[in-house]
């Protein structure tokens, strides 16, 4: 087991960190306050290869590994977890086409996704089907050489922008997971509409809307893979998506820890700097240790996914659970170390806490992650 990074991986991580520090971090609080989705900055990230990290290079991807991706998303999240998380979702959508699409579909769609000329959204969750995703009701009925879609998706990140692209899980057959197919719906398709931008606790720098299909006609050629494998595609995407969101949690928490250390070196109480109190030193040590443990586990799970081992799905669920729980706990502890100042928007810590809270819910709640692990242990 190799725990050290190669020179190329260190260079990749440092490049992403530098981009986060220069292009994202200085404006992150403003984007949050104004609910601004910085598409121009997303495309700058794409120009550096971060919109198709593990997409094959014949269509404009970077052709890197899942471990490389974990390094990239952690680094981006030090600037803003919200922006890093959206880029991770975009990558997950592109991967579905790269892994399951035809040669024609890959050539048609992936170059524009890797450049972020099109912004991708993942449409699985519905108002009545969250954790129980196999119960989804959105239906796609064949009519000639088209599908007609009717239904609604809920909590869709990035939805409603002009340059949009939706990977939709829709029911084309029987109830349950075997009746689900994956269909691409391009922005501007008649019958496609959106709900209002949701008011959220965090993640304010990316829009979250309902995506609504009303007699939305889509060519049969937009189906990814054969009918009935959509749930497999969705779950395959979530293995990597869980690693990505875990990496975003670690990166956001690392930024919060760094802010706390800097604050403690300056702030004085009872005649001493805060970093001179042993009790607070121990708190920092625990935060850093727990964060490093989560990071190391993410790397372990990423290696398993790259190697396609039999336990990869279980390890990805474990990694997602521990990274997102740890990330939130460390960020919350960093806020506490700031005292009252941590509660103010100016310091940026409260934003990180708000952003990281949802990571314990999305890409499968952490309760579902425990269920996946338990079923693996019990052979169910």
Query: What's the CA gap between 337 and 237, in Å, rounded?
Result: 37
Instruction: Please report the beta strands in 172-328, taking only residues with DSSP state E, as ranges in sequence order.
Output: 180-186, 192-194, 208-219, 223-224, 268-269, 272-273
Cβ atoms of 291 and 257 closer than 8 Å: yes
Query: What's the CA gap between 3 and 362, in Å, rounded?
Result: 28
Q: Across-strand partners of 192? A: 213
Active-site position among 104, 107, 363, 367: 363
C-alpha dist (Å) from residue 99 to 144, 152, 241: 27, 26, 14
Query: What's the CA gap between 75 and 194, in Å, rounded?
Result: 32
Of 79, 76, 104, nearest in space to 90 by CA: 76
Helix/strand/coil for 183: strand
Does residue 363 have an active-site annotation? Answer: yes
C-alpha dist (Å) from residue 38 to 41, 161, 333: 5, 11, 29
Looking up tokens 């030193």, which residue turns up?
281
Looking up tokens 């999305």, which residue turns up?
362
Active-site positions read 363
């Amino acid at each position: 087991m190799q725990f050290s990074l190669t020179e190329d991986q260190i260079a990749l991580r440092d490049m992403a960190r530098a981009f986060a520090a220069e292009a994202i971090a200085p404006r992150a609080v403003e984007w949050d306050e104004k609910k601004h989705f910085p598409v121009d900055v997303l495309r700058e990230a794409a120009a550096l290869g971060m919109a198709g990290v593990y997409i094959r290079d014949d269509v404009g991807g970077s052709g890197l590994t899942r471990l490389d991706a974990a390094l990239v998303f952690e680094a981006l999240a030090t600037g803003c977890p919200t922006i890093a998380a959206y880029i991770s979702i975009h990558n997950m959508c592109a991967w579905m086409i790269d892994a399951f699409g035809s040669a024609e579909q890959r050539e048609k769609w992936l170059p524009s996704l890797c450049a972020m000329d099109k912004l991708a959204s993942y449409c699985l969750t519905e108002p009545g089907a969250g954790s129980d995703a196999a119960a989804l009701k959105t239906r796609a009925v064949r009519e000639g050489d088209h599908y007609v879609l009717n239904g609604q998706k809920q909590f869709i990140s990035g939805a409603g922008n002009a340059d949009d692209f939706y990977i939709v899980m829709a029911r084309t057959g029987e109830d349950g997971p075997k009746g689900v197919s994956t269909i691409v719906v391009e922005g501007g398709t008649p019958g496609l509409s959106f709900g209002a931008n949701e008011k959220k606790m965090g993640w304010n720098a990316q829009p979250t809307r309902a995506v609504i299909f009303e007699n939305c006609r889509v060519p049969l050629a937009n189906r990814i893979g054969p009918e009935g494998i959509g749930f497999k595609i969705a779950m395959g995407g979530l293995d990597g998506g869980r690693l990505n969101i875990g990496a975003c949690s670690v990166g956001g928490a690392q930024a919060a820890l760094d802010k706390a250390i800097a604050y403690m070196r300056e702030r004085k109480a009872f005649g001493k700097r805060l970093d001179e109190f042993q009790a607070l030193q121990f708190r920092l040590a625990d935060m850093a240790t727990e964060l490093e443990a989560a990071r190391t586990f993410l790397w372990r799970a990423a290696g398993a996914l790259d190697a396609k081992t039999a336990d990869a799905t279980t390890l990805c669920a474990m990694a997602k659970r521990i990274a997102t729980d740890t990330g939130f706990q460390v960020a919350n502890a960093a806020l506490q170390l700031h005292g009252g100042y941590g509660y103010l928007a100016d310091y940026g810590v409260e934003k990180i806490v708000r952003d990281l809270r949802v990571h314990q819910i999305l890409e499968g709640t952490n309760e579902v992650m425990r269920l996946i692990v338990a079923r693996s242990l019990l052979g169910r």
